Structure 1
Amino acid sequence: MPLIWLFAILLALAAAGYTLGRRRAVAVSGGDIRRLHSLPNYHGLNVALAVLVPALLVLFVWLIAQPMIVDARVAATLPPATPTSERALVMSDVRRLAEGLELAVQSDIMTEDEVQRLNAAEDGIRARLAPLGVALGSNVDPAVLVSAKRYRALSIAGNTARNIVVILLALGGLGLAWGATGLGFRARNSVERAVLALLIAAASIAILTTAGIVLSLLFESINFFSQYSIADFFFGTKWSPNFRGNSQLGILPLLWGTLYISLIALIVAVPVGLFSAIYLSEYAGPRMRAVAKPLIEVLAGIPTIVYGLFALITVGPLLRDYFAQPLGLGNSGSSVMTAGLVMGIMLIPFVSSLSDDIINAVPQAMRDGSYGLGATKSETIRQVIVPAALPGIVGAILLAASRAIGETMIVVLGAGAAAQLDLNPFEAMTTVTVKIVSQLTGDTDFASPETLVAFALGLTLFVITLGLNVIALFIVRRYREQYE
């Protein structure tokens, strides 16, 4: 049974439970719902929740646990001679072949008996599965075929057991909740507790997601540092990964490129964005504001690949021909300055829109008090409005900085991929995010330090961003206490 059918059955049972629960509540009250503790709708919702909540929780856990259990049981049947580093690749082939066989049965390309009789010596395996989009090598290893059949059989058995258990749970919940419906049953309290649990779960998603990201990065980073020196990683000045061995994975050139490009981007974005926000909020009339603000915000909607092409085709050659070559600073169109300028243009709406909203939120009484003391408009902006809005402005700048640090596409097309330590802004450099992508792209061995280094790079970026947040929080709290 497809998973969508199972969801449809659960929804149908929940709807039926709502109707039955509501009818039973009305029936036990003898038609006078004032005798009930809760309204009939609450009784119906209680039965519907009793159908859905246990079934969906078990289904969620089952969907996570079943693939891991099946993988472990099938991996245990692989030939003992299979190296540990190749088991992941073999299991990938097993899963792909098992999915192909299941698709072939569902599409009537093969029968169940043909699947059971299939052997690796047949030339038709690859040809019969190719129309389904299943890419296999020219030869199918007999051990992979046997494991794929076992994987498919275990998956089918697990899916069948899952469907039975989930439906039985839903029916059991329906029966128990329907039977509990009575005059004194506090259905409203039960429903409100369920809603409260749902709200808590929704609020916990961000926390749990952050914890999951940190733990996944941490565990893989520990695995990396068990194979590569932590001192060489953090203090190495050369980045030269080599999957054949003898790699030099120093992060300093990548950090330098990241901070250098981000600094140039902020030098462009912060003054332009802040000044435009001050103009729109304090000087511009309603007509000008209605036109200018949407035009500025359009910049935030442009895809980063378009900015990257703009950097590659227009800004890079312009800087090279009119600045770098005449000054003798370089001959490349890909440079830190190119990526920084284009990234700064992209960040202008982040600073402008947020700062504009924060400045508009400053109470008018503060402006009136400043004008009443004889201050001019410019003095009021400098000494009253901007200091009062500073916590929000710092938040806007922090958002722009985080966006700059995490940008990839503009750097790839505008700054190049050279990992080097150089003060020349017209030289090609790269960032941490670009190297994370390059280390995880292609046919890589996830047990090698050259691949695991991507997780260490990600963890380092996370720590840097966390540090920026701490600094910004300190500034915000200090000035908030001063101006509140």
Structure 2
Amino acid sequence: MSPFWTIVAILALAALGYGLGRRRAMSLAQGNPRRLHSRPNYYGWNVALFAAVPALLLLVLWALALPLLPHGAASSRAAGILAIIIAVAGLAVAVRRTTPEFRARNAVEQMIRGLLILCSLIAIATTVGIVLSLVFESLHFFRLYPWQDFFFGTEWTPRFGGGSRLGILPLLWGTLYISFIALLVAVPVGLYAAIYMSEYATPRVRSLVKPAIEVLAGIPTIVYGLFALVTVGPLLRDWIAQPLGLGNSGSSVMTAGLVMGMMLIPFVSSLSDDIINAVPQTMRDGSLALGSTHSETIRQVVIPAALPGIVGAILLAASRAIGETMIVVMGAGAMATISGNPFEAMTTITVKIVSQLTGDNDFSSPETLVAFALGLTLFVITLGLNIFALYIVRKYREQYE
């Protein structure tokens, strides 16, 4: 039996168990639910959960252990049969212990609490697994390549035949440079849009403007990349870079930064709008009552009160910018250089992670393993930004009744 049909069978048994449990409880109570400790539905859910949860957990554990087991197809069939047997056994046990005195609600709530805890542990375990995989592969890389040359090298020239120079500084410079330009675009536009929507726009205008801005967040990044490649890049090259003698390529830091900034506008505007709206109206009314104008109230009362949240939104947008790939590939090129000219082609850490892992590469060579060291570095940078954002928000957050 395939895993799909095994799961369907388990869910069918759970549905059958729900009906049997509820029916048995009502039968023993002689049709009077007041004689039951819990509502009839809880007796049904108790049987359904006892039938489904252990069997599904077995399938999950078996799927995780399957690569370590011989005869994968036979093992899957055995796991499916065993899971169905466990589901039937759980159904029978749960139905048998269904009595009017049984605390079905307590049992169901404990199982639901256990499932919630399990989901939390899965999220934590996933994060730990990602970190450990990056750490172990990065340690392997640093056994083959000096860490001093990686963190302080200014040249990025990977050669699979040997003689590679794998300095991260050009990639780090390109990442920070492009992200800085993106934030220069996204922060003012997004913040001013948030101020307009929360303080000036009528409810009708707000109901139209806010969804229109948030549409930008739903556009795939590859579409932004095409926009940078076809429209923004040639426009900047023909109108600015070539006339000023700053470059002849449509792929540049400025191209990727501008388009990435457009992508980040809804991140800044939506979060800032929600934060500004959380400032109590009584603070605005008090400022206006003391003679302040509307604009003075926004500058001196509303924005200072919402500033910690706004800073947190900006730092979260910065983390999003640092991790972007497709816009950089199509808008900024793939040149690993250190330059202050924003109209030159550069690249970022994420782009080189993709390039080093693309193709039939040898995972025992430093030229491939360097991708894990780059990923670990990027993870530490974004994690630091997120922690700093949470620190700012919690330290300076205003508590209102």
TM superposition score normalised by structure 2: 0.94
Structure 1 residue 40 corresponds to structure 2 residue 40:
yes
**Aligned partners of 1:59 and 1:166 also within 8 Å:** yes
How many aligned residue pairs are there? 401
Q: Which residue of 2 aligns with 1:8?
A: 8
Structure 1 residue 293 corresponds to structure 2 residue 197:
no
**C-alpha distance in 2, partners of 1:188/1:296?**
46
Q: Which residue of 2 aligns with 1:110?
A: none
**C-alpha distance in 2, partners of 1:310/1:477?**
38
Q: Which residue of 2 aligns with 1:54?
A: 54
Q: Secondary structure at the match of 2:144?
A: coil
Aligned AA for 1:217? L
Q: Which residue of 2 aligns with 1:256?
A: 173
Aligned AA for 1:353? S
**C-alpha distance in 2, partners of 1:438/1:272?**
33
Q: Which residue of 2 aligns with 1:245?
A: 162
Deviation at 1:183, TM superposition (A): 3.5
Larger Rg: 1
**Aligned partners of 1:299 and 1:346 also within 8 Å:** yes
Structure 1 residue 29 corresponds to structure 2 residue 29:
yes
Deviation at 1:355, TM superposition (A): 1.2
**Aligned partners of 1:233 and 1:249 also within 8 Å:** yes
**Aligned partners of 2:2 and 2:80 also within 8 Å:** no
Residues 55-74 of structure 1: pairs in structure 2 closer than 5 A: 55-70=55-70
Query: Residues 323 and 64 of structure 1: is their aligned pair in 2 closer, same or farther, counting only changes over 3 Å?
Result: same
Describe the superposition over 1:125-160 as per-residue Cα deviations: whole angstroms up to 9, x where unpaired: xxxxxxxxxxxxxxxxxxxxxxxxxxxxx1232123
Unaligned runs of 5+ in 2: none
**C-alpha distance in 2, partners of 1:43/1:313?**
62
**C-alpha distance in 2, partners of 1:310/1:7?**
44
Return 26-35 or 310-319, whichever deviates more. Answer: 26-35
Q: Which residue of 2 aligns with 1:160?
A: 77
Structure 1 residue 324 corresponds to structure 2 residue 258:
no
Aligned AA for 2:54? P
Deviation at 1:7, TM superposition (A): 1.2
Deviation at 1:364, TM superposition (A): 0.8
Residues 338-349 of structure 1: pairs in structure 2 closer than 5 A: 338-349=255-266
**Aligned partners of 1:387 and 1:483 also within 8 Å:** no
**C-alpha distance in 2, partners of 1:297/1:22?**
46
Q: Which residue of 1 aligns with 2:135?
A: 218
Query: Residues 29 and 475 of structure 1: is their aligned pair in 2 closer, same or farther, counting only changes over 3 Å?
Result: closer
Q: Secondary structure at the match of 1:450?
A: helix
**C-alpha distance in 2, partners of 1:423/1:387?**
34
Residues 53-452 of structure 1: pairs in structure 2 closer than 5 A: 53-70=53-70, 154-452=71-369
Q: Percent identity?
A: 71
**C-alpha distance in 2, partners of 1:411/1:180?**
62
Q: Secondary structure at the match of 1:226?
A: helix
Query: Residues 290 and 186 of structure 1: is their aligned pair in 2 closer, same or farther, counting only changes over 3 Å?
Result: closer
**C-alpha distance in 1, partners of 2:395/2:63?**
48
**C-alpha distance in 2, partners of 1:355/1:482?**
17
Query: Residues 482 and 5 of structure 1: is their aligned pair in 2 closer, same or farther, counting only changes over 3 Å?
Result: closer
**C-alpha distance in 2, partners of 1:299/1:160?**
47
**C-alpha distance in 1, partners of 2:30/2:400?**
64
Query: Residues 373 and 17 of structure 1: is their aligned pair in 2 closer, same or farther, counting only changes over 3 Å?
Result: same
Deviation at 1:238, TM superposition (A): 0.9
**C-alpha distance in 2, partners of 1:26/1:477?**
51
**C-alpha distance in 1, partners of 2:200/2:41?**
55
**C-alpha distance in 2, partners of 1:43/1:160?**
32
Q: Secondary structure at the match of 1:26?
A: helix
**C-alpha distance in 2, partners of 1:28/1:291?**
58
**C-alpha distance in 2, partners of 1:174/1:425?**
67
Aligned AA for 1:14? A
Q: Secondary structure at the match of 2:397?
A: helix
Q: Which residue of 2 aligns with 1:97?
A: none
What's the Cα RMSD here? 2.0
**C-alpha distance in 1, partners of 2:203/2:26?**
58
**C-alpha distance in 1, partners of 2:392/2:50?**
49
**Aligned partners of 2:334 and 2:351 also within 8 Å:** yes
Deviation at 1:212, TM superposition (A): 2.3
Deviation at 1:481, TM superposition (A): 5.4
Aligned AA for 2:335? A
**Aligned partners of 1:412 and 1:430 also within 8 Å:** yes
**Aligned partners of 2:18 and 2:45 also within 8 Å:** yes
**Aligned partners of 2:336 and 2:347 also within 8 Å:** yes
Deviation at 1:281, TM superposition (A): 1.8
